[in-house]
């Protein structure tokens, strides 16, 4: 590790500034934090999983950007939790897994953009809670997803979902979300996925009405149920749309 860090320091010091801290966050992963707030992770395999508050990056205000090097395959539990000033993240092509609460924020975080590479198959629950994202694309390669992934992202406005299953509570409390597209790949929608999305009045499904009818939908999938009223009133399909009948509390098919 000492040799690796010394070599890295020689190569990059003149470019991005002095080294503030070095350490390990995985069996074969070391990190370097620079004066300008850039955090670099190098090595192979998975980072450690951490209990809440135990990560070396917990509530670090001096971390402003993150670059995860090639060879790293998984980001462990709660690794970057409450790094409120982290504005950018770069993922490697080797990454397959982002575990629960990896980038969880208790109040609004600083992450404004996020690109999920097609190599990632797994994102754990609450991974990006309360981040400052404005748009998100969930690629078709995602196969294992936890609940509440983007819960509380108050700035999120646009979302496209290409994976087969939409997890429960995915966009709960994303009150500015107004533009949602579901790919024809979607076969299952989890419960409460748009709870309290008060700006979402319609969404687009890239399949036919018959295809939409075949999609498995969990309880309160439309944000309604119990004390929830929901604002979604229309689902646009290729050959028509579904329209919510508020008098009879049911969805009605309208073919065009």
What is the arithmetic mean of pLDDT over 41-66? 96
Question: 12 burial class (0-12, 13-18, 19+ CB within 10 angstroms)?
Answer: middle
Which pLDDT band holds residue 130 (cuts at 50, 70, 90)? Answer: very high
Could you give the angle at the alpha carbon of 119 between the alpha carbons of 93 and 139, nearest 5°? 125
Q: Is the pLDDT confidence value at 13 over 60?
A: no
Confidence class of residue 14 from pLDDT cuts 50, 70 and 90? Answer: very low
Which pLDDT belongs to residue 256? 86
* Rounded distance between C-alpha atoms, residue 73 and residue 35, angstroms: 26
Percent of the chain at pLDDT above 90?
86
Percent of the chain's residues with pLDDT above 70: 93
Whether the predicted pLDDT of 219 surpasses 50: yes
Contact yes or no for 228/249 (Cβ under 8 A): no
Which residue bears the tokens 């970057």? 80
Report strand pairing: 38-43 vs 29-34: antiparallel
Which residues, at least 6 apart from 10, have a Cβ–Cβ distance to it below 8 Å?
Answer: none
- CA nearest 155: which of 137, 138, 171, 139? 171
CA distances 195 to 6, 128, 135, 165, 220, Å, are 50, 17, 18, 17, 8
Are the CB atoms for 112 and 91 separated by under 8 Å?
no
Mean pLDDT of 155-172: 98
pLDDT of residue 157: 98
Bigger pLDDT: 8 vs 155: 155
Sheet bearing 45-46, strands edge to edge: 45-46, 72-75, 97-98, 122-123, 144-145
In this prediction, residues 76-95 reach a mean pLDDT of: 95
User: SS3 of 242, please?
Assistant: strand
pLDDT (mean) for 150-178:
97
Q: How many residues does the chain have?
A: 256
**How confident is the model at residue 126, as a pLDDT?**
98
């Amino acid at each position: 590790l000492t040799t690796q860090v010394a070599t890295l320091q020689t190569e990059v010091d003149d470019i991005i500034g002095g080294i503030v801290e070095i350490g390990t966050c995985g069996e074969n992963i070391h990190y370097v934090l620079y004066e300008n707030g850039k955090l670099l992770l190098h090595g192979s395999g998975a980072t450690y999983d951490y209990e809440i508050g135990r990560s070396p990056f917990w509530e670090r205000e001096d971390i402003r950007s993150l670059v995860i090097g090639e060879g790293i395959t998984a980001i462990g539990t709660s690794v970057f939790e409450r790094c409120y000033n982290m504005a950018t993240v770069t993922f490697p092509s080797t990454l397959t897994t982002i575990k629960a609460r990896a980038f969880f924020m208790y109040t609004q975080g600083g992450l404004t953009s996020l690109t999920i590479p097609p190599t990632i198959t797994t994102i754990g629950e609450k991974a990006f809670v309360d981040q400052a994202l404005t748009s998100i694309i969930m690629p078709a390669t995602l196969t294992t997803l936890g609940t509440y992934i983007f819960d509380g992202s108050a700035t999120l406005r646009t979302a496209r979902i290409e994976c087969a299953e939409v997890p429960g509570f995915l966009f709960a409390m994303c009150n500015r979300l107004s533009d949602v597209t579901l790919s024809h790949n979607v076969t299952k929608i989890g419960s409460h996925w748009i709870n309290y999305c008060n700006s979402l009045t319609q969404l687009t499904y890239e399949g036919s009405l018959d295809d939409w009818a075949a999609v498995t939908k969990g309880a309160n999938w439309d944000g309604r149920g119990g004390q929830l009223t929901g604002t979604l009133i229309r689902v646009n399909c290729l050959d028509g749309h579904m329209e919510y009948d508020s008098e009879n509390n049911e969805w009605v098919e309208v073919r065009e």
